[in-house]
Amino acid sequence: IDVKLNTDFFDKKDEYLKSGKRIIFTGMIDQFFEYTLGELEYRSLRFETEIKDVDNYQGNAVVNYTDAETPYTRVIEHKHFEFGKGNKNKTVITHEYPKNWSRGDEPYYPIDNKRNRSLYKEYTELAAKNDDNVVFGGRLGQYRYYNMDQTIMSALRLVK
């Protein structure tokens, strides 16, 4: 396969679609169809990163916060991904905050509700009537929240 880096699919969408090659599209299905049927809703994220003057801030790479009082959803301590590498007197952490999505923002999570499920179904019907060379996959293409194991299973099913 050809891999193109630093390339916006939509800058050459027509060219790619006319190439006759199979396309695995993992972006937003509503954007693919130029929002013809309306916008699906997404949740985005905002990140705040800081350096702490401690060797170990939380003891783990990721700690999730699910209570309503905590304004962020998780804290990432990056050095734990590298298994203890890094400065012994400092650590880097990132707080992850939920953010409402609007066009131009990075869409991280689909919003699962009746309206969006219905609209997504309309988009899948539109996709079925379109080019057989385009396969929609991933969280955004299939408008579904996936954990990593589910992502792999979905990809394997898609290949079949």
pLDDT digits (tens, 9 = 90+) for 53-79: 999 999 999 999 999 999 999 999 998
* pLDDT band of 127, cuts 50, 70, 90: very high
Domain with CATH 3.40.50.720 in the chain: 9-41+107-159
Per-residue pLDDT at 84 exceeds 60: no
Per-residue pLDDT at 143 exceeds 80: yes
Fold of 9-41+107-159: Rossmann fold (3.40.50)
Instruction: State residue 49's pLDDT score.
Output: 97
Q: Which two tokens stand for residue 91?
A: 């650590």
pTM of the complete model beyond 0.85: no
Contact 91, 79 (CB under 8 A): yes
Contact 25, 134 (CB under 8 A): yes
